[in-house]
Amino acid sequence: MRVLITGAAGMIGRKLTQRLVERGRLLDERIDAVDLVDVVEAPADAAVCTAHTADLSRPGAAEALVSLRPDVVFHLAGVVSGEAEADFDKGMRVNVDGTRQLFDALRFAPGTARVVFTSSIAVFGAPFPDPIPDDFHPTPLTSYGTQKLIAEALLADYSRRGFLDGVGIRLPTISVRPGSPNAAASSFFSGIIREPLAGREAHLPVSRDVRHPHASPRAAVRFLVHAAEMDTARLGPRRNLTMPGVSVTVREQIEALGRVAGAAVTDLIREEADPAVAGIVAGWPQRFDTSRAASLGFEADRSYDDIIRAHIDDDLGSR
């Protein structure tokens, strides 16, 4: 069993690699090799791992990687939301053309690889019903969401034609994201938990009433592994699934932080209204009915308290 991970140097890629190395098996087979692909070198600490530096959107790159004969491909690589909006051509080249080249390389390779593709709830755009049902139409309001939607459509058709065996998983916002605050409009969702836990101030740019779905990095990795192992016959031709998240308001996030870490920690959160961020966030989904994913065995975090505890366990050495 050979596994290929694109975008392997990213946060989720690294956590997925670690999980696969720990498991040692996938689909009831021993994992003999994990090929880690990214534009920068991914950490390849385990003997089973090999890092490959490659830009999938360059001619020939996908074919070279697929010649490693992966049985399972986790396609996580992509230009993120802010960058795809700022640099339209780069987003199209990486998120659309790179994905299509990877899928085409797999199409012409022997066998039928399982492909797990990380899509995003950014394929949806307001206005929404509450909750958003599984059969609600995607109407992205960003180029990133558009590009993810196009990749989803390709994944489904390539699967229907037997070129590959795809599962697209639309991830909710990942929190608590370890590392530093970044320029993403969603950064504060993690920041208001991560920074106070580290003894630092965090800024809250939106109202405490803002509701949003979350998944821990641990849940995201669980979704990926489940998507690799599930019986895709149960999916039929509808290959793309909205993953279950924990839908909470910012107020509920902060209350959970108080329960897990003590009320004093929450005092480090400073309200600092930012109408630009609030405007962007207002167009985002608040709550999904993810019965379909649930019926197919995808399991959300149980509560936002658990999401915070997962961060403390996995990223802060349980302190």
Segment near a second copy (CB under 8 A); pick from 31-39, 58-66, 134-142, 285-293: 134-142
Return the number of the residue (125 or 131) whose C-beta is nearest a second copy: 125
Segment near a second copy (CB under 8 A); pick from 21-29, 149-157, 207-215, 291-299: 149-157
Segment near a second copy (CB under 8 A); pick from 15-23, 137-145, 201-209, 251-259: 137-145
Nearest distance in Å: CB 144, a second copy = 10
Report the residue from 23, 200, 238, 251 that binds a second copy according to the rule CB under 8 A.
238
Three-class SS of residue 253?
A: helix
Neighbours of 97 (CB within 10 A): 15
Q: Is residue 141 near a second copy by the rule CB under 8 A?
A: yes
Cα separation, 120 vs 12, whole angstroms: 14
Question: Is the separation of the CB atoms in 230 and 296 below 8 Å?
Answer: yes
Q: Is residue 156 near a second copy by the rule CB under 8 A?
A: yes
How many Å is the Cα radius of gyration of the chain?
19
Q: Is residue 88 near a second copy by the rule CB under 8 A?
A: yes
Nearest distance in Å: CB 135, a second copy = 5
Nearest distance in Å: CB 225, a second copy = 25
Report the residue from 22, 59, 161, 199 that binds a second copy according to the rule CB under 8 A.
161
Return the number of the residue (129 or 317) whose C-beta is nearest a second copy: 129
Residue 252 backbone dihedrals phi, psi, to 5 degrees: -65, -35
Return the number of the residue (135 or 209) whose C-beta is nearest a second copy: 135
Nearest distance in Å: CB 224, a second copy = 23
Segment near a second copy (CB under 8 A); pick from 152-160, 205-213, 224-232, 266-274: 152-160
Cα separation, 134 vs 123, whole angstroms: 13
Catalytic residues: 144
Segment near a second copy (CB under 8 A); pick from 19-27, 28-36, 131-139, 297-305: 131-139
Cα separation, 43 vs 270, whole angstroms: 36
Residue 296 backbone dihedrals phi, psi, to 5 degrees: -95, 5
Q: Is residue 138 near a second copy by the rule CB under 8 A?
A: yes
Q: Is residue 237 near a second copy by the rule CB under 8 A?
A: yes
Residue 31 CB partners (closer than 8 Å, separation 6+): 1, 2, 3, 20, 21, 23, 24, 25, 48
Of 142, 137, 43, nearest to 91 by C-alpha is 142
Report the residue from 115, 149, 171, 235 that binds a second copy according to the rule CB under 8 A.
149
Residue 265 backbone dihedrals phi, psi, to 5 degrees: -60, -35
Residue 236 backbone dihedrals phi, psi, to 5 degrees: 60, -150
Q: Is residue 139 near a second copy by the rule CB under 8 A?
A: yes
Report the residue from 18, 136, 255, 305 that binds a second copy according to the rule CB under 8 A.
136
Return the number of the residue (137 or 234) whose C-beta is nearest a second copy: 137
Cα separation, 260 vs 186, whole angstroms: 22
Q: Is residue 234 near a second copy by the rule CB under 8 A?
A: no
Cis? peptide before 131, omega within 30° of 0: yes
Residue 175 CB partners (closer than 8 Å, separation 6+): 189, 190, 193, 214, 215, 216, 307
Contact positions vs a second copy (CB under 8 A): 88, 125, 129, 135-141, 143, 146, 149-150, 153-154, 156-157, 160-161, 237-238
